[in-house]
Structure 1
């Protein structure tokens, strides 16, 4: 099997994202990593949906999980009549494709393709689960390969020895940054905002960079202005859960406030990702609101009295005036002329 995860940290090895085998999907539980390396085991595709919604996996992890979930769905209905199998796969594609609202357009591309492949396999008397599994692996290969181009462009922009501030867990771009830096012998110091309430920056991003030998420093979310003003940071970067064609980006809540602070002290903010051609402007971005109780708890421990309320928007939207550039697989673009991305040809299949 051809795989593009060579040289990636533990979290980005294919089996450690999500994996289908023998009627089961295993998903690494990132909510408790690195204290424990445990997998959530799903024997029904609805359990995969719940795992995504509960943030067992997040960032780009659900792109893999929904594909593997479709392989599981094909396994679940394999003993049904052909018509019933087809209907089952179509329903699974719809449900898995809408597991979370902000990135549902990306999930649906994966699940709809998986459903079509599975239906063709069923009609040909072939193993639909295997066909979908193999397609999901190829999807991961494409994503890792395309994002390597993004990582190469990004690392080329980072000054050697720079202090780089990150937000949340950018998944694939982190692995490709690491590979690009090692290949070009470029070194930089990483500062990770912790990322409340699930601490993805602390537990996931920090783990990847530290595992690969980069000087890695964790700061709490409310320390970012201090380290920016102190001069520790030369470069702020984050991935994006959505990039609309008018140059706005949606990313983990808190991304915008760091962009404002970076802009104030003259630190450039470079976003990485692939534009969403189906989102003409930022009004097409849906912000997910999550269960407020997740803010009132840290790693399963209640941190307030019962009377306290909370609010939890999962993402915020950063406008183009706060973004230095958007780094894509086709080069570096101003957020004000993102339409030029299309002048370099048709968008490659990414998901």
Structure 2
């Protein structure tokens, strides 16, 4: 009898070299159904990113790198300048799919540098270099998450209760996740964590994704509504909060899924450390503060209709549905990166991280 595959047995993002396709788990179908999408066109990839079929800042970066490589494969010309022009058109198109997660533009810019630095080489060779760079970006993602897990684990102790918001797990990265990486590593070492997952309205990433993948891995997990976080903190059940992020400003302000700043305020009130897990690719040194981070506005139907059998709000009601909010750096205990742990003052410590990673 064939053993049923766990969600953890699937790759979140993959390149199929035989089909020349980006392969992703359609996260809009989880946890009810595991469906793999084989995306070959730029339109398909753009829609997948925009509709959150693939989501999470690192996974979006991985998908974008593969996507722009696939676009480059289809450019038929022997002229470098024409190739570059059409490459940049595809890059701008993919970059327009979501505005807040900096990994999207970071990965696309990194792929563009491959083209620019390879000027003078045969275009077939440049396309192969783009292939190799896309694979490298994904492989680096796995290493990055592993290191974040190691650093994050030094901040907690055995038996701790941990709270997380949204999904910064394996489903948001190539493997391990960012905010969940210390949880997975601690679980492997027998730390006996108990994890509380905020459901994360309105997309329910905590309910549908985080609680799903953590429980599938054998962790002790409790799902709570977003407005229950204060209660579990007050009860003394949470010793640390770990969240991911989509963009970190140079001063340490961090944009993450809507509701994160509220969790940070609660943690501050109850004296609970609040940790942001951030690959250095999410640190935007060109943006001085969180005020400069563009916040994506999502369709109102996500609030009024999505996940409900019947509409749960009156027709015509105005809806405010920002996908992210910005947590002020003063509420963040530390920012955990693959090159170490940054603490206040962040304008100094993040620059030190920048020197370590060579950015």
- DSSP-derived class of the 1:157 partner: coil
Q: Tell me, in whole angstroms, the C-alpha distance in 2 between the residues paired with 1:214 and 1:169.
A: 15
Aligned-pair CA distance for 1:200: 0.8
**Is 2:227 aligned against 1:222?**
yes
Confirm or deny: 8 A CA contact 2:179 2:244 kept in the other structure: no
Aligned counterpart, 2:338:
329
What is the CA–CA distance in structure 2 between the aligned matches of 1:62 and 1:12, rounded to whole Å? 19
Corresponding residue number in structure 1 for 2:12: 16
Q: Match of 1:278?
A: 286
Look up the match of 1:5. none
Q: Which residue is 1:111 aligned to?
A: 108
The number of equivalent residue pairs is: 339
The alpha carbon displacement at 1:72 in A equals 1.7
Is 1:312 aligned to residue 324 of structure 2?
no
Matched residue SS, 1:95 = helix
Pair 1:345–1:263, CA change in 2 (3 A): closer
Distance 1:175 1:290 in 2: 26
1:94 and 1:252 map into 2 onto residues whose CA distance is 24
Q: What is the aligned partner in structure 1 of residue 96 from structure 2?
A: 98
Distance (Å, rounded) in 2 between the aligned partners of 1:61 and 1:139: 10
Cα 1:315–1:85 shift into 2, 3 Å:
same
Secondary structure in structure 1 of the residue aligned to 2:211? helix
Gaps of 5+ in 1: 1-8
| 1:87-126 CA-partner distances (Å, limit 9, x unpaired) | 22121112222321112x4322311332343574994142
Residue pair 1:114, 1:132 contacting (<8 A) in 2 also: yes
Q: Residue 299 of structure 1: SS of its match in structure 2?
A: coil
Secondary structure of 1:88's aligned partner: helix
Residue of structure 2 equivalent to 1:164: 162
1:132 and 1:195 mapped to 2: Cα distance? 36
1-structure distance, mates of 2:142, 2:9: 10
- In 2 relative to 1, CA 46–121 (structure 1 residues): closer, same or farther, beyond 3 Å? farther
Distance 1:12 1:239 in 2: 22
Where do 1:33-44 residues align within 5 Å?
33-44=30-41
Show CA shifts across 1:283-328 (max 9, x none): 2211111112221122374333323331111111111222122222
User: Partners of 1:346 and 1:152 in 2: how far apart?
Assistant: 20
Partner of 1:6: none
CA RMSD of aligned residues (A): 2.5
Partner of 2:87: 89
Q: Structure 2: state its 5+ residue gaps.
A: 1-5, 170-176
